[in-house]
């Protein structure tokens, strides 16, 4: 008698298998599905031997999970996996790199992505940079290093250092932004959001105001850049946009440095009337002779917001959650959809 248990194939490199797929989560997966790991090391390459081996293992598979090392899951591969009902990527297929998503949709295959496992620490670090920047902590640390422990009463951290009651503007409100909102709630802040890809009903559900980029930049006390880097967002914030930021405001970027024009950013910061907390810059690593390093009103970290030991295993934890929901007849949380793909490709927002 044929087994009613679904079969799931994990296609990834040995490193991913060792770092991401922890024993407790594999045990959870084993509780409701049979699974096997197919070692892949070519990373999206058209390696005929690896693809042939993967196709052979997919012939009776109901689910496929891909990550680093896996080939591109093309329409041809899907056509040779007649039972396949769900494909998930643990890292970065919000850019539609590893899955031919349109081909999957045409075949009725669910597509999910759990890259947002790294969103948790990014949201935490965004909150940290908000607090650090409001207190002008970068400048204070520089003073301590120089041997100056004195306090002043004209410092921005003294005058405007509390987050409570501020208006916080989020540029982009995906997984990171929505988690950051939950972290901001205890501070009784007013939240404005600019995100042309966001379903409008999300504003009512989470309690924020959807607005224009110009309104957000010109009327927020704290501005946080959370948008993905796409052709649409590259250099989205230049001199005109930076000039809209009012004196006394704080600018935080935990997304990608290339969204903000670096020369215009340095010029705006050199005016000395706003403070920035930057986890990202363009280019990276930051050149040793860059003026951004030496500005008192800047706190820098080396693009580490999403890099924690817990991040990679969490992506698999979330994927097992998705598979559990799917194979028990429930709706998945983290679907790749035309809206999410349009966002990542920088194409026209879909309403």
* Distance of alpha carbon 47 from alpha carbon 97, whole angstroms: 16
Strand 222-225 to strand 167-171: parallel, antiparallel, or no bridges (unpaired)? parallel
Q: Is 328 a catalytic residue?
A: no
3-state secondary structure 74-85: CHHHHHCCCCCC
Neighbouring CB atoms inside 10 A of 129's CB total 26
Q: Is 330 a catalytic residue?
A: no
Q: 100 preceded by cis ω (within 30°)?
A: no
| End-to-end Cα spacing for the chain | 47
**Which is the catalytic residue, given 135, 178, 232, 256?**
256
Helices (H) and strands (E) in the chain, counts: 15, 12
- Kindly write down the DSSP assignment for every residue of 266-306, as one continuous string: HHHHHTSSSEEEES--SSSSPPTT-GGGG-TTEEE--S-TT
| Chain Cα centroid distance, residue 200 | 20
Task: Check if the beta carbon of residue 100 is closer than 8 Å to that of residue 78.
Answer: yes
DSSP reduced 3-state for 237: strand
Nearest CA among 123, 124, 152 for reference residue 139: 152
* Distance of alpha carbon 37 from alpha carbon 53, whole angstroms: 12
Q: Is 284 a catalytic residue?
A: yes
The residues with which 112 forms a beta bridge, in sequence order, are 88, 335
Task: Check if the beta carbon of residue 198 is closer than 8 Å to that of residue 205.
Answer: no
**Which is the catalytic residue, given 5, 142, 303, 345?**
303
DSSP state of 333: S
DSSP reduced 3-state for 144: helix
Q: Which residues are catalytic?
A: 256, 284, 303
């Amino acid at each position: 008698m044929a087994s009613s248990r679904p079969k799931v194939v994990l296609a990834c490199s040995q490193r991913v298998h060792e770092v991401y797929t922890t024993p407790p989560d594999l045990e959870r997966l084993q509780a409701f599905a049979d699974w096997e790991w197919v070692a892949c090391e070519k990373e999206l390459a058209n390696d005929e031997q690896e693809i042939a081996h993967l196709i052979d293992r997919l012939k009776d598979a109901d689910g496929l999970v891909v990550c680093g090392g896996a080939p591109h899951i093309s329409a041809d591969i899907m056509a040779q996996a007649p039972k396949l009902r769900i494909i998930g990527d643990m890292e970065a297929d919000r850019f539609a790199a590893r899955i031919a998503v349109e081909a999957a949709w045409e075949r009725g295959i669910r597509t999910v992505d759990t890259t947002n496992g790294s969103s948790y620490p990014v949201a935490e670090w965004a909150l940290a940079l908000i607090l650090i920047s409001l207190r002008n902590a970068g400048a204070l640390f520089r003073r301590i290093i120089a041997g100056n422990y004195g306090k002043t009463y004209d410092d921005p951290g003294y005058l405007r250092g509390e987050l409570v009651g501020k208006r916080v503007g989020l540029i982009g409100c995906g997984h990171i932004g929505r988690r950051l909102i939950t972290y901001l709630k205890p501070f009784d802040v007013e939240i404005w959001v600019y995100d042309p890809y966001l379903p409008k009903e999300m504003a009512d559900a989470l309690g924020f105001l959807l607005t224009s980029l110009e309104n957000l930049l010109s009327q927020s006390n704290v501005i946080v850049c959370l948008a993905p880097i796409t052709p649409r967002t590259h250099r989205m914030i230049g001199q005109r946009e930076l000039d809209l930021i009012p004196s006394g405001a704080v600018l935080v970027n935990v997304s990608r440095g290339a969204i903000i024009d670096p020369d215009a950013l340095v010029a705006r910061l050199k005016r000395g009337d706003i403070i920035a907390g930057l986890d990202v810059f363009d280019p990276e690593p930051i050149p040793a002779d860059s003026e951004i390093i030496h500005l008192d009103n800047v706190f820098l970290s080396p693009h580490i917001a999403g890099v924690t030991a817990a991040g990679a295993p969490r992506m698999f934890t979330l994927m097992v959650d998705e598979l559990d929901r799917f194979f028990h007849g429930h709706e998945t949380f983290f679907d790749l959809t035309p809206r999410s793909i349009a966002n990542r490709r920088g194409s026209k927002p879909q309403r």
